[in-house]
Amino acid sequence: MLRLVWVILVSMPFIMYYALRVTYVEKHRDSYDEATRYKIARHMVAIMKHNGGIRTKAYGVENLPKDCGYVMYANHQGKYDTLGIIGAHAQPCTILIDEKRSHLIFANEFITLLKGCRIDKSDIRAQVKAIYQIIEEVKKGRRYIVFPEGGYKNNHNSLQEFLPGAFKCAIKAKSPIVPVALINSYKVFDLSSFSLIPVTTQVHFLEPIYYEEYKGLSSVQISNIVKDRINETIKKYA
């Protein structure tokens, strides 16, 4: 909790600046391509990490597919998860996020900048529309971050059950599936912690699973494979 409050207070001038900049970018969206937007987002992440004494080590970057869209499926530990992945992922990517969470303070501008996909969990039609949006965008080369767990409360370096339905967008797009293991990400903005001691997290991009490998499997089987690989990595390096 203390680190979150500290980062917000120390970063307030930058937060105000980037809030205005995102508004400007949206008004002139034709002048800002995805790469430029992503560069701005990563700079925001870099400032936050510096002000919060946060370091993230990235592993397996060489595993990321080149010249195609894909979906990254990561375990969920807390508010820093997406920021940690984006800080470690050089190529533009975006996120599937719950509609309500996307409108929290500061999150809204960040998701808008990344042109993320907001999903309304209370509206089935909206969910289907969001999934098809992701399918079409991934087919065209976009890269998405998806958290297949139901939530992250008290997850720490352990996993909850993965929701098989979360894998439908990759299956329908016939895209590579990239398992991502996050370690110690929960420590960054741990609401029960009152420490400002520098913290180090890990992002592991595991070997991708290509369509040819999973096309005969059900979403439940794919979900279990991804979960097992992430779990094995966490046990090995946590």
Q: Which of 184, 178, 169 is nearest to 219 (CA)?
A: 169
The pLDDT tens digits of the residues spanning 200-209 come to 999 999 999 9
Range name among 12-26, 27-41, 72-86, 92-106 with the lowest pLDDT average: 92-106
DSSP string, the chain: -HHHHHHHHHTHHHHHHHHHHHHHHHHTGGG--HHHHHHHHHHHHHHHHHHHTEEEEEE-GGGS-SSS-EEEEE---STTHHHHHHHH--S--EEEEEHHHHTSTTHHHHHHHHTPEEE-TT-HHHHHHHHHHHHHHHHTT-EEEE--BS--TT-TTS---B-GGGGHHHHHHT--EEEEEEESGGGTT-TT----S-EEEEEEEPPPB-HHHHTTS-HHHHHHHHHHHHHHHHHHH-
What pLDDT, in 10s, does the model give residues 54-74?
Answer: 999 999 999 999 999 999 999
**Model confidence at 2, in pLDDT bands (50, 70, 90)?**
confident
Q: Please state whether the predicted TM-score (pTM) of the whole model is above 0.85.
A: yes
Please check whether residue 144 is in contact with residue 138, taking contact to mean a CB–CB distance below 8 angstroms. yes
- Tell the residue number behind the tokens 């370690």, with chain if given: 183
What number is the average pLDDT over the span 9-20?
89
pLDDT in tens, 80-99: 999 999 999 999 999 999 88
